[in-house]
Copies of this chain bind each other. A is one copy, B any other.
């Protein structure tokens, strides 16, 4: 593995000095880009797009052709793991992802097996390899997965849920069944992320989208604990280079200390978190990624620049910050606003890297 020419992301995640604050955006390849919608139409559906390495690699690279982003993130979906487990992923218009065979009965849980990524998630690994070749080692490529608990939410609910009644019923009434699912998921996520690393991912991120819907104790027991399992099974280096990892629990701002102690290199923050306070709290141990309110992208270049300035000032001098939104780019965000954000993050951050705190 050769280090990318622009290694600011990797350095920032390891809290090493950088000339400016690197930036990438969750869901940077997505519906706000006309060329993405065009590729998706060509593929026929979102899932077909995910499963076609040529097209998935194409959309992965689209935002990098427009904006001076400091990383690519492989275009895929967090639910490809349960799909590879045989649950039958499909998408319905307006309702999001669904599973044909959600986990309801005990025998279904007992029969659950982690998929072999080389066999069952080949299309993602091919996309990773293809993106790496196309990137020409310009910027690093991020691989990702859903967290064991977040995957379990969809696997038990059978799709998106407002209240997570099914998975919570299992959590409170049949915790041993949920633990069984989470153990399988943790093994599957580790193997999947390691395979992405072997095929070219230079950093990895775990998306814990729904951990923040848990009571604090349940979060530790059913989400964070299995993120720790994943991390302990993860390759920390490949080809002589460190492969940093990022853990993002949406709504996890109250639990920063525990998340930072999970063994991760960086913690992703949603926009409700005070970035300056978070750095004072855990910034000696981990890098921080985030955390602009995604709604800011709907305003104007001047407002975007001002809000980006506040985020950079909140983190302050020195390395260890990766600029990002606190959640994904909205389909309603104008691409020129994304351009303004990337430019602002780069331009305004230089002063924070020139010297130590005054």
- A residues apposed to B, CB below 8 Å: 163-165, 168-169, 172-173, 212-219, 251, 253-254, 271-274, 293-296, 298-300, 303, 307, 310, 326, 330, 332
Partner of A163, one of B163, B213, B295: B295
Set of chain B residues within 8 Å of A272, measured between Cβ atoms: 212-216, 219, 251, 254
B172 with A296: CB separation less than 8 A: yes
B330 with A165: CB separation less than 8 A: yes
Set of chain B residues within 8 Å of A310, measured between Cβ atoms: 217
A330 with B163: CB separation less than 8 A: yes
Given A165-B330, A172-B303, 6 other A-B residues pairs in contact with their CB atoms under 8 A: A165-B295, A172-B295, A173-B303, A217-B310, A251-B272, A253-B253
Q: Which residue of B lies closest to A171 (CB)?
A: B295
Q: How long is the Cα–Cα vector from A332 to B294 in the complex, in angstroms?
A: 33
Partner of A215, one of B213, B217, B271: B271
Q: How long is the Cα–Cα vector from A272 to B223 in the complex, in angstroms?
A: 13
Partner of A169, one of B219, B253, B298, B326: B298
**Copies of this chain, count:** 2
Chain B nearest CB from A180 CB (Å) reads 18
Q: Which residue of B lies closest to A252 (CB)?
A: B272
Chain B nearest CB from A77 CB (Å) reads 19
25 A-B interface contacts by CB (under 8 A): A163-B294, A163-B330, A165-B295, A165-B330, A168-B298, A169-B295, A169-B299, A172-B295, A172-B299, A172-B307, A173-B299, A173-B303, A212-B272, A214-B272, A214-B293, A215-B271, A215-B272, A215-B326, A216-B273, A218-B293, A219-B272, A253-B253, A253-B254, A254-B272, A254-B274
Chain B nearest CB from A218 CB (Å) reads 8
Set of chain B residues within 8 Å of A271, measured between Cβ atoms: 215
Chain B nearest CB from A175 CB (Å) reads 10
A164 with B254: CB separation less than 8 A: no
Chain B nearest CB from A316 CB (Å) reads 15
Q: How long is the Cα–Cα vector from A251 to B173 in the complex, in angstroms?
A: 25
A216 with B274: CB separation less than 8 A: yes
Residue from the set A163, A212, A294 with the largest chain B CB neighbour count within 10 Å: A163
Chain B nearest CB from A329 CB (Å) reads 12
Chain B nearest CB from A268 CB (Å) reads 15
Set of chain B residues within 8 Å of A300, measured between Cβ atoms: 173
Q: Which 6 A-B pairs have the closest CB atoms?
A: A168-B295, A216-B274, A253-B254, A172-B299, A215-B271, A215-B293
Chain B nearest CB from A21 CB (Å) reads 18
Q: Which residue of B lies closest to A277 (CB)?
A: B216
Q: Which residue of B lies closest to A256 (CB)?
A: B254
Chain B nearest CB from A334 CB (Å) reads 12
Chain B nearest CB from A69 CB (Å) reads 23
